[in-house]
Amino acid sequence: MMVKIPGVLTQEQVTKIRAVIDAGPWVDGNETSGHQSRLTKRNQQLRQHCDAAAEAGQMVLSAIGNTPEFVAAALPLKVFPPLFNRYEGGEEFGNHVDNSIRQVKGTEFRIRSDLSCTLFLEEPDDYEGGELVVEDLFGEHRVKLSAGDMVLYPASSLHRVTPVTKGARTASFFWLQSMVRDNGEREQLYRLDRSIRNLSAEKGGTDPTVMELTNLYHNLMRRWADA
């Protein structure tokens, strides 16, 4: 399941985050790459664990925690500290699959990467190329969103970032472990949650049908979720 979530960050928040990260130390993007990714990755990355990454990452975590659509779609259990990357001058990231387990170096914090997340921090008209291309059984999905918008997709997906031929593409990226491991079960819960919210807005939260669907949602969560 791929979910696009608009307006995770306001324009003011985007500006604040960019001010922090643009002034930070940028290094070769392979700082956090696995063996396979190193073969296809050419980009820059804000140095992991630096003050700028910590400050900007906390702003991203605060924003996603206050975005109901993100919580409903991801059902996050643990979120990897957000990272930041930049592509310019023909840089790209060829086809790859994200590591199944991500660990913060030097700590015991680790997650199973169920979902990959990209939060765009550059307006699409300000650079050429730089599309996120995600492949699944239905073909290729090309994503290039407005600054402040986010896309979630299964970390198991084969994906790439096309070469940036003009300007620069800046984004935050991270992974999360969902309370619901199975992508199909997570999708059903998300669709049910959306239906409940839409029906509740139309008929009110105490409508018998809304109450029954809400009961069904929570019983499925009890069956499928790890808390």
The reply to whether 98 sits in an annotated binding site is yes
Element (H, E) at 85: strand 83-88
At a CB cut-off of 8 Å and minimum separation 6, what does 151 contact?
2, 3, 4, 5, 117, 118, 132, 143, 145
DSSP one-letter string for 153-175 = EETTSEEEE--EEESEEEEEEEE
With CA atoms as reference, report the closest residue to 175 among 102, 225, 119: 102
DSSP one-letter string for 19-48 = HHHHTS-EEEGGGG--HHHHTTEE-EEEPT
Using CA atoms, how far apart are residues 82 and 71, in angstroms rounded to an integer? 16
Count CA atoms closer than 13 A to 195's CA, side-chain side: 14
Q: Distance from first CA to last CA of the chain, Å, rounded? A: 21
Residue carrying the six token digits 């990209």: 118
Contact 210, 199 (CB under 8 A): yes
β-partners of residue 26 are: 46
Element (H, E) at 112: strand 110-112
The reply to whether 159 sits in an annotated binding site is yes
Three-class SS state of 185: helix
* Binding-site residues for 2-oxoglutarate: 169
Binding-site residues from annotation for Fe cation = 96, 98, 159
Residues tagged in the binding site annotation: 96, 98, 159, 169
